């Protein structure tokens, strides 16, 4: 199928930090730890060239053997976090699904030689509904989750993004939800501040490269300064949504950055 013609309203693809569990909806210490990130997320919709007709979300919290697309018409929420205040298990985000878009995503991936399937029972995990409650609080735009592949192969996720890029011309917002730094031992440890800074600086430089050079760099992220300390090998699921967003996009840039729990956390936009 030929790509849809590009319009002035072509949506970017995004990689967003989704915070820690339901952090935006509870007390934290220090109290303002997540305020700047929350403010960024709340202002994100206004920065888009058009209102999306649907949102395809690649969450760090869903891994399958093959790329899997949630096709429920009315997805339920998955409270896949533990140890948080009781009220955070009563959060709501009643966005509809889009089975037709799910079908199309599977067809595009399979057409590119990437095994894919649908899951009609999968709901919205917290990597999906927590940031979306801030970005699109009305929950009136259809949301379709896409899994990561369990092998965490960066080249495969970049390829998936390239395959899905044409959806951006059809009003679909491609949104990777993860964290640019995700080493649980590093949060709150000032020794990891310089580590996260080094990896973040590398991500900024790599994202800005021309498409082929960018993809080649991101595919070898583990060799980057601070790479494996920022995302321990085998646990890089919070970085892989960036690969899909990058593959689906053009020129990339850092869209937001903040210091949280002694580490640098950033968002990226690919035009």
Binned at pLDDT 50, 70 and 90, residue 9 comes out as confident
The answer to whether residue 8 sits within a structural domain is no
HSE value, Cβ hemisphere, 13 Å, CA-based, for 224? 29
Split into its structural domains, the chain has a count of 1
CB 20 within 8 A of CB 130: no
- List all residues 6 or more positions away from 167 whose beta carbon is below 8 Å from its beta carbon: 56, 101, 104, 105, 108, 174, 248
Residue 64, in any domain of the structure: yes
Does residue 162 belong to any structural domain of this protein? yes
Written as six digits, the tokens of 102 are 């799910």
Q: Does any domain span residue 5? A: no
Q: Are strands 13-17 and 54-64 parallel, antiparallel or unpaired?
A: unpaired
Q: What is the pLDDT of residues 97-137, one digit of tens each?
A: 999 999 999 999 999 999 999 999 999 999 999 999 999 99
56: in domain: yes
Reported as a single tens digit per residue, the pLDDT across 213-225 is 999 999 999 999 9
For 29, the domain range is 13-270
Q: CB within 8 A of 185, min separation 6: which ones?
A: none
- pTM for this prediction: 0.95
CATH at residue 158: 3.40.830.10
Q: Note the pLDDT tens digit of each residue in 133-154.
A: 999 999 999 999 999 999 999 9
Structure tokens at 223: 């060799």
pLDDT of residue 215: 96
């Amino acid at each position: 199928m030929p790509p849809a013609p590009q319009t002035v309203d072509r949506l970017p693809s995004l990689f967003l930090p989704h915070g820690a569990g339901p952090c935006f909806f509870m007390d934290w210490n220090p109290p303002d730890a997540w305020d700047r990130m929350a403010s960024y997320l709340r202002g994100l919709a206004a920065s888009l060239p058009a209102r999306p007709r649907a949102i395809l979300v690649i969450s760090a919290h869903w891994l399958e053997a093959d790329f899997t697309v949630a096709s429920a018409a009315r997805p339920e929420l998955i409270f896949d976090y533990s140890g948080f205040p009781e009220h955070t298990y009563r959060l709501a985000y009643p966005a509809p699904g889009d089975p037709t878009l799910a079908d199309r995503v599977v067809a595009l991936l399979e057409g590119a030689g990437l095994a894919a399937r649908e899951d009609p029972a999968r709901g919205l995990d917290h990597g999906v509904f927590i940031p979306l409650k801030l970005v699109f609080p009305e929950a009136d735009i259809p949301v379709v989750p896409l899994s990561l592949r369990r092998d965490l192969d960066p080249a495969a996720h970049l390829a998936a993004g390239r395959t899905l890029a044409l959806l951006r011309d059809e009003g679909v917002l491609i949104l990777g939800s993860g964290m640019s730094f995700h080493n649980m031992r590093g949060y709150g440890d000032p020794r990891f501040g310089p580590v996260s800074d080094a990896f973040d600086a590398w991500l900024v430089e790599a994202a800005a490269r021309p498409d082929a050079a960018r993809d080649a760099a991101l595919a070898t992220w583990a060799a980057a300064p601070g790479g494996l300390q920022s995302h321990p090998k085998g646990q890089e699921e919070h970085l892989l949504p960036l690969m899909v967003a990058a593959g689906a996009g053009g020129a990339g840039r850092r869209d937001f950055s903040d210091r949280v729990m002694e580490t640098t956390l950033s968002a990226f936009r690919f035009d």
